Structure 1
Amino acid sequence: MWARIVALVIKEFLALLRDKASRFVLIGPPVIQLLVFSYAASFDLNHIPYAVYNQDAGFASRELLARFTGSSTFEQVATVRDEARIAPLIDDKAALLVLRIGPHFTRDLLAHRPAKVQILIDGRDSNTASLALNDANGVLLAFNQHWAATHGWQAPPARLDIRPWFNPNLLSRWFIVPGLVALLTLVVTLLVTGLSVAREREMGTFDQLLVTPMRPAEILLGKAIPGFIIGGLEGAFIALMAVAWFHVPFVGSVLALALGMFFFLLAAIGIGLMISSLAVTQQQGLLGVFLFMVPSIILSGFATPIANMPEAVQMLTTINPLRYLLVIVRGVFLEGSGVSALASQYWPLALIGLASMTAAAWLFRHRSS
């Protein structure tokens, strides 16, 4: 039995490696997506273009503006001398925000009175505007604290002391790159398994495979093992790249990550074989893979929190294996989670894997009879 399965596994690998397009699909897109997502997909803002409309000639306004100039987050693109110039700067997207300092800014501060600073910001992209405002508030808070300490202001009754856990510098790359371990592993595994049976049908070798001494279960196992090996190697490679190239900390247990990958690959391979068993051609298999992949990514929590989704949609995410692996990889990379802490994620993955493999076996027998 095992000799026949090994022979089928070798045949699957040879079919993949001999085909130039298949070799490219396994190597090219995952590497390209890893680099593009890691460098381009970011929630951090750098070099925010801003303009200054300073109506105050005092030293306090110059000190505040010096903090914006010295910040690596902001980049001054214009100095406004006339209020009429503010609207064109924002309308033409030359500046994301305009910092407006009133004529009595320094005088009010020296008199221990609140001094207002107005920020006019382009709100067409609400997410970008919110991030820019947070960065500007950070600069203003630092100025306020320094001014209060050097000019004899009484300290405020409560001081906000912010200490982010797991990601001290709040780098979005530390959040995105571990998620790519799960995302790209899913992509490669589905492509390998989702086209395997369909490729046999399209090439006319499926009937030949059925008349061999191999039982349907052996054929299915021989189709699943290459996807398991390739998906595991792909996930390990991306995890190593995350640590070595993108310097994302790995503070958890390797065993915890490996166990999560095992159950996830089981689920992904089952889904891929279900798609491949239903497809007649490779084109149908490819369409089926993408039909599953797009909602799977949207409903995984990769980009948007699941808690923000409607309750009915949240229930739907419980059958999505990518949801659980994202929790596992981010927990292992950033939180230092071990096997016991992630037990609540393992058993749903195991159930999904068992159900998908059972369904794939039934579909394979039904379609081959």
Structure 2
Amino acid sequence: MWQRLFALVIKEFLALLRDKASRFVLIGPPVVQLVVFGYAATFDLNHIPFAVFNEDPGLASRQLLARFDGAPVFQRVATLSSDARIAPLIDRQDVLVVLHIDRQFSRDILAGRPGRVQVIIDGRNSNTAAIVLGYANTILLDFDAEWGSTHPWAHLPAQLVMRAWYNPDLLSRWFVIPGIIGLLTLVVTMLVTALSIAREREMGTYDQLLVTPLRPAEVLLGKAIPGFIIGSGEATFIALVAILWFGVPFTGSVVALVLGLGLFLLSAIGIGMMISALAATQQQGLLGAFLFLVPAILLSGFATPIANMPQFVQYLTYLNPMRYLMVILRGSFLQGDRAGDLLDQYWPLAAIGLTTMIAAAWLARKRMY
């Protein structure tokens, strides 16, 4: 029995190693996933962009700012002269933090009163905001320790006042659930479309399409419409659950959200149809979908900020439709964005969708004849 079993095991290994596709399955996906996980899945924050609105020309404020400027995790990108510039910087995500020092800061500290420092944080990513707040608090405690060692105060010289925009309580649910809408919609749509043509080939019914009056573009459209309907229904259901059950606030425009989801589904369907056109079996289609899904989710900013990733990985995210959908979802739910505010997210999705659908039609035609 053991000899027969050993012979069967050897036979399976030889079959795997002789087949080019099987060798790729064993080596390709693990290497790709390892590289993506290694670079994208990081919760470390480096070079946090922050702006300063300092109304106090005194010595204490200059020393506090010197600590922030000297910290390796912070990088000052703007110095503001009025509070009117705070909102645009945070809205565009040019900065994660705005440090506001009141004009009475140095005077209060020298007079033995607590000086207040306001830290305005972009709260859309609650995890990142909490980490940034911890860094800022550490710097402020070091500043207090230095000043406290030379002055006999009974309280801390500087006190931190935190204000988180778009997510005042830094609830992780408000940050995660809008992203889950895109994640689950992508998974369902990809599985439906990536297996459609491959299923026909595996069942032997794909050849029957060759003798029908249907053109390749019509076959592709017939395969794409069910995925669009299923994806739309999935996204609508999850969005309603997020609002009605989990209490995530929806402050934006329904039109903006629907338009973004529609363009995203077009992109996801185009990629799924490309995979399906290339796959000879459902197993290959499933593998291709999995090979795309994991990097797409990791490189979307769903869990970790794109700004934390290496520069070359950030360039790759521009090819990922999930990147743009994350901005649309969180902007629609938390930021109150309208369609006009998201034009720079819509046109890349439209370009990706159009390109992938054309490529899928070309691949389907090439594989059909």
Answer whether TM exceeds 0.5 for this pair: yes
Aligned equivalents of 1:165, 1:284: Cα separation in 2: 45
Which whole-Å CA distance do the structure 2 matches of 1:189 and 1:226 have between them?
A: 9
Q: Distance in 1 between matches of 2:323 and 2:298?
A: 10
Aligned counterpart, 2:66: none
Question: Is the aligned partner of 1:178 residue 2:184?
Answer: no
Matches within 5 A, 1:260-299: 260-299=260-299
Q: Which residue of 1 aligns with 2:350?
A: 350
Letter in 2 for 1:346: Y
Match of 2:226 in 1: 226
Q: Separation in 1 of the partners of 2:265 and 2:319?
A: 15
Q: CA deviation at 1:249?
A: 0.5
Corresponding residue number in structure 2 for 1:254 = 254
Tell me what 2:366 maps to: 366
For 1:173 and 1:247, how far apart are their aligned partners in 2? 9
Give the superposition deviation at 1:157.
5.7
The structure with the larger Rg is 1
Whole-Å Cα distance in 1 between the matches of residues 160 and 228 of structure 2?
Answer: 49
Match of 1:196 in 2: 196
Separation in 2, partners of 1:260, 1:247: 22
Shift of 1:298: 1.0
Counterpart position of 1:164 = 164
Q: Distance in 2 between matches of 1:171 and 1:329?
A: 16
d(CA) in 2 for partners of 1:134, 1:219 = 55
- Measured on the aligned residues, the alpha-carbon RMSD in Å equals 2.8
Task: Give distance in 2, aligned partners of 1:330 and 1:318.
Answer: 18
Structure 1, residues 117-164: CA drift from partner, whole Å, max 9, x if none?
xxxxxxxxxx9xx97x959x89xx9xx9xxxxxxxx677664322111
**Distance in structure 2 (CA, Å) of the matches to 1:210 and 1:253:** 45
Rounded Cα–Cα distance in structure 2 between residues aligned with 1:282 and 1:242:
33
Matched residues, number: 232
Letter in 2 for 1:266: L
Q: What is residue 120 of structure 2 aligned with on the other side?
A: none
Q: Residue type of the partner of 2:228?
A: F
Alignment of 1:30-179 (within 5 A): 134=134, 158-179=158-179
Equivalent residues in 2 for 1:281-360, closer than 5 Å:
281-360=281-360
Q: What amino acid sits opposite 2:187 in the alignment?
A: V
Q: Separation in 2 of the partners of 1:162 and 1:298?
A: 30
Tell me the secondary structure at the aligned position of residue 166 of structure 2: coil
The 3-state SS of whatever aligns with 1:162 is strand
- 1:233 partner letter: G
Q: Distance in 2 between matches of 1:134 and 1:326?
A: 25
Query: Who is 1:215 aligned against?
Result: 215
The TM-score normalised by the length of structure 1 is 0.59
**In structure 1, how many angstroms separate the alpha carbons of the residues matched to 2:355 and 2:231?**
19
Could you tell me how far apart the structure 1 residues matched to 2:259 and 2:265 are? 10
2-side partners of 1:330 and 1:220: how far apart? 32
Q: TM-score, normalised by structure 2?
A: 0.59
Q: Which runs of 4+ in 1 moved over 3 A?
A: 153-159
Residue 245 of structure 1 deviates from its aligned partner by 1.1
Distance in 1, Cα, partners of 2:322 & 2:331: 14
Q: Deviation per CA, 1:324-347, whole angstroms, max 9, x where unpaired?
A: 000100000000011011111000
Between the aligned partners of 1:257 and 1:250, the Cα distance in structure 2 is: 10
Residues 1:134 and 1:306: Cα distance change in structure 2 (over 3 Å) = closer
Structure 1 residue 320: Cα displacement:
0.2
SS at match of 1:250: coil
Q: What's the offset of the Cα at 1:274?
A: 0.3
Partner-residue secondary structure (3-state), 1:164? strand
Distance 2:293 2:364 in 1: 21
**Amino acid in the other structure paired with 1:245:** W
C-alpha spacing 1:169/1:348, structure 2 compared with 1 (3 Å): same
Equivalences for residues 18-37 of structure 1 within 5 A: none
Q: Secondary structure at the match of 2:300?
A: coil
Q: Distance in 2 between matches of 1:155 and 1:347?
A: 54
- Per the alignment, residue 244 of structure 2 pairs with 244
- Structure 1's unaligned 5+ residue stretches are 1-42, 44-111, 113-126, 145-152
State the alpha-carbon separation in 1 of the partners of residues 269 and 234 from structure 2.
Answer: 14
Deviations 1:20-66 (A, max 9, x none): xxxxxxxxxxxxxxxxxxxxxxx9xxxxxxxxxxxxxxxxxxxxxxx
Q: Secondary structure at the match of 1:214?
A: coil
3-state SS of the aligned residue for 1:163?
strand
